[in-house]
Amino acid sequence: MSPLKSQKTASVNAQSPSRVTTSREPYLKKFYYTLLVLILLCIIFFSLISVIVSVFILDTFQSIEEKDMESRMNRFSENLNNSIAYVGKTVADYAVWDDMARFTEGSYPAFSNEGMSQDSFKAIGIDIVAILNDSGDIIYEDDYTNPVGDKFPLQPVLSGYIQSQSPLVQNDENITGLTSLVFHTKNTSGILVSHPVQYHTTGTDGEGYVIMGRYFHPAYLQELSIILDEPAFLADKCKVEQLFPIQDEHPGQRSISTQVINESAIASYLKIPDPLSKETTYFGVIYPRKLYQEGLSTLTSYLLVILAV
């Protein structure tokens, strides 16, 4: 082979790779562009799915939790009614009693010492005992949370409830039986139950009323919370009042509201208006958001798997 021919062949061979590379560049660019678009579309697609799934699942869990908290507070409200009924049985036992009827009429003045047992009342959690005569005068009173020497006078905050014009004293002759209310006045709250005095042997009406009650102190709240896993408490009006609608559809009746505090806790509140003072008692209970946390953990794992893929 001549030197000139050999030089031409070497020149052609040296230029060939460059021509091949140049001819493949458009295809590579198109491939990389397409791959990038597909990756971006996948990211957008899975992001949308993740958002939709997150919103749907977490909102569903929150809805379940809110309904569960409302159910719990309803059970607490029912347990409060049971407690009022239990106190009512004691009130009725004392009100429908011949000796009590004679005491309110003034013919058996020794009854207050012979028939009323402070130890018995304290043993069943009764804090307040009052007996009114037919004129609405208090002829017997005990408030075991307010000892003064060897006496237990009623606290002044109860004066509006234990008197002749109180809702607990029904002046309508057609109304008989138990009357109760949840009271709240001057940062003091509790239950009061009344029953008109009657003769047990004859069934005729006596003169006066027997009233008993309990304060919402910690021991009583713990007793009411026995059907819950967490303790109920008296909630601050300033913190929870805004959770209830300003225009109440059923004024004077109990109502319940729930509040998601954060990702770890949820609360439910019970509102009970006082018909006499026009104030309100608020009960609250706070639970950990176990279901929400479990759902959040599962969702996080799911998103991590998507990112890994």
Quick: pLDDT tens for 154-200. Answer: 999 999 999 888 889 875 554 568 999 999 999 999 999 999 999 99
CA–CA separation, 65 and 42 (whole Å):
34
CA–CA separation, 214 and 154 (whole Å):
12
Is pLDDT above 90 for 39? no
Is pLDDT above 50 for 263? yes
Prediction pTM value: 0.79
Short-list 283, 284, 271, CA closest to 245: 271
pLDDT at 214: 98
Confidence class of residue 4 from pLDDT cuts 50, 70 and 90?
very low
Helix, strand, coil % in the chain, rounded to nearest 5: 50, 20, 30
User: Residues 283, 284, 285, 290: is their CA dihedral positive or negative?
Assistant: positive
CA–CA separation, 180 and 212 (whole Å):
10
CA–CA separation, 96 and 115 (whole Å):
13
Over residues 73-79, the mean pLDDT reads 96
Residue type at 214 in one-letter notation: R
CA–CA separation, 230 and 57 (whole Å):
26
pLDDT at 172: 55
For 87-215, give the CATH class: alpha beta
Are the C-beta atoms of residues 224 and 80 closer than 8 Å to each other?
yes
Using a pLDDT cut of 90, give the percent of the chain over it.
59
**Long-range contact pairs involving 103-107 (C-beta distance under 8 Å, separation at least 24):** 103/131, 103/139, 103/140, 104/131, 104/132, 104/133, 104/134, 104/139, 104/197, 104/206, 104/207, 104/208, 105/133, 105/206, 105/207, 106/133
Range with lowest mean pLDDT among 17-26, 48-57, 231-240, 258-267 = 17-26
Is pLDDT above 70 for 295? no
Confidence class of residue 13 from pLDDT cuts 50, 70 and 90?
low
CA–CA distance from 164 to each of 91, 206, 292 (Å)?
18, 15, 52
Q: So where are the chain's domains?
A: 87-215
Cβ neighbours for 181, distance < 8 A, ≥ 6 positions apart: 161, 167, 168, 191, 192, 274, 275, 276
Confidence class of residue 26 from pLDDT cuts 50, 70 and 90?
confident
Quick one: tokens of 294?
């479990």
* Predicted confidence (pLDDT) per residue in 187-199, tens digit: 999 999 999 999 9
Length reported for the chain: 309
Confidence class of residue 88 from pLDDT cuts 50, 70 and 90?
very high
Using a pLDDT cut of 70, give the percent of the chain over it.
79
Confidence class of residue 277 from pLDDT cuts 50, 70 and 90?
very high
Short-list 129, 151, 127, CA closest to 140: 129
Is pLDDT above 50 for 132? yes
pLDDT at 43: 74
